[in-house]
């Protein structure tokens, strides 16, 4: 005789139940703002992870950087590049939102801010930027508390990653025709160094960038030229 016990709570939801839940999250009917925010957060992380995986396999820039990191003795497992929710998500009015970060300790990792990207190319340039920091630390033993070291790596990362392409700057609200690329590299390098806890002030950041500007702007390793 068939059991009359109710279905286990672990029984998978039906397709209709999943559809209904998705509709609730999209429309906001029957769910809280917190539930909708959590669903969007999870969706952004999944999208970011997929783009990251695809780029690690097929992007000429990312594949090139991973190769040269291996040649320099630094392996970068896929799990060392990870997507997480971050504060201050990207919006159409916030073009300078934090998109990623290089985490040098303990073994070097790249954090990507899920939901802060407006295109696959944006993810690509962010990964490349942070891999350049990793390359500098691996190859040149960067001391991140030394403002000149930090400034040089920021100049190189902004110069070589594609972060300062003309249309990227236009999207940020910066319009210029004379030495636009150099102005972008300098501005972003100063901003990053100024955020270093070891940097006393914006003036110190500007001085550090100015002191290493010429030599670090012309240093395109491991590339032959600016991408």
Q: Which residues are catalytic?
A: 130
Cα–Cα dist 78/25, whole Å: 31
| Cβ contact 138:104 at 8 Å | no
Cα–Cα dist 4/151, whole Å: 71
Q: Which residues contact 186 (CB under 8 A, 6 or more apart)?
A: 155, 209, 213
Please count the residues of the chain: 227
| Cβ contact 103:131 at 8 Å | no
Other CB atoms within a 10 A radius of the CB of residue 210 amount to 12
């Amino acid at each position: 005789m068939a059991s009359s016990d109710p279905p286990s709570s672990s029984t998978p939801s039906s397709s209709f139940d999943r559809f209904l839940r998705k509709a609730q999250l999209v429309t906001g009917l029957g769910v809280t703002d917190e539930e909708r925010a959590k669903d969007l957060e999870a969706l952004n992380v999944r999208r970011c992870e997929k783009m990251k995986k695809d780029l690690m396999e097929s992007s000429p820039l990312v594949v090139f950087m991973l190769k040269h990191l291996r040649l320099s003795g630094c392996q970068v497992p896929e799990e060392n590049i990870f997507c997480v929710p971050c504060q201050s998500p990207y919006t159409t009015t916030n073009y300078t939102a934090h998109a990623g970060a290089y985490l040098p300790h303990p073994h070097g990792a790249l954090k990507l801010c899920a939901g802060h990207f407006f295109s696959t190319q944006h993810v690509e340039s962010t990964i490349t930027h942070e891999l350049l920091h990793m390359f500098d630390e691996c190859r040149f033993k960067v001391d991140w508390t030394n403002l000149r070291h930090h400034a040089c790596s920021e100049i190189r990362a902004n110069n070589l990653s594609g972060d300062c392409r003309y249309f990227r700057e236009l999207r940020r609200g910066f319009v210029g025709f004379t030495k636009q690329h150099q102005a972008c590299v300098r501005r972003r390098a100063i901003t990053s160094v100024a955020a270093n806890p070891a940097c006393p002030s914006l003036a110190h950041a500007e001085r550090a960038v100015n002191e290493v500007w010429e030599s670090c702007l012309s240093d395109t390793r491991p590339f032959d030229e600016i991408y």
